[in-house]
A and B are shown apart, each in its own frame.
Chain A
Amino acid sequence: AQSVTQLDSQVPVFEEAPVELRCNYSSSVSVYLFWYVQYPNQGLQLLLKYLSGSTLVESINGFEAEFNKSQTSFHLRKPSVHISDTAEYFCAVSPTGANNLFFGTGTRLTVIP
Chain B
Amino acid sequence: DVKVTQSSRYLVKRTGEKVFLECVQDMDHENMFWYRQDPGLGLRLIYFSYDVKMKEKGDIPEGYSVSREKKERFSLILESASTNQTSMYLCASRHRANNQPQHFGDGTRLSIL
Residues on A close to B: CB < 8 A? 9, 32, 34, 36, 41-46, 49, 51, 90, 94-101, 103-106
Contact = CB atoms under 8 A, between A and B. Distances in A.
16 contacts: A9-B40, A32-B98, A36-B104, A42-B107, A43-B90, A43-B105, A46-B101, A94-B99, A95-B98, A96-B99, A97-B98, A99-B48, A99-B56, A101-B102, A103-B42, A105-B41
A100 B101 contact: no
A100 B33 contact: yes
Contact of B40 (A43, A96, A97, A105): A105
Nearest to B49: A99
The winner among A34, A103, A104 for most chain B CB atoms within 10 A is A103
A105 B39 CA distance: 8
Given A43-B105, A45-B104, A96 B43 contact: no
A3 B43 CA distance: 13
Contacts of A32: 98-99
Nearest to B107: A43
B90 A100 contact: no
Contacts of B33: 100
Nearest to B6: A43
A90 B31 contact: no
**3 tightest A-B CB contacts, nearest first:** A43-B104, A105-B42, A44-B104
Given A100-B45, A101-B102, A103-B42, 15 more contacts: A32-B98, A36-B104, A41-B106, A42-B106, A43-B104, A43-B107, A44-B92, A94-B98, A96-B99, A98-B98, A99-B31, A104-B42, A105-B40, A105-B41, A106-B42
Nearest to B31: A99
A34 B45 CA distance: 16
B58 interface: yes
B103 interface: yes
Nearest to A95: B98
Contact of A44 (B41, B56, B90, B99): B90
A55 to B, nearest CB: 16
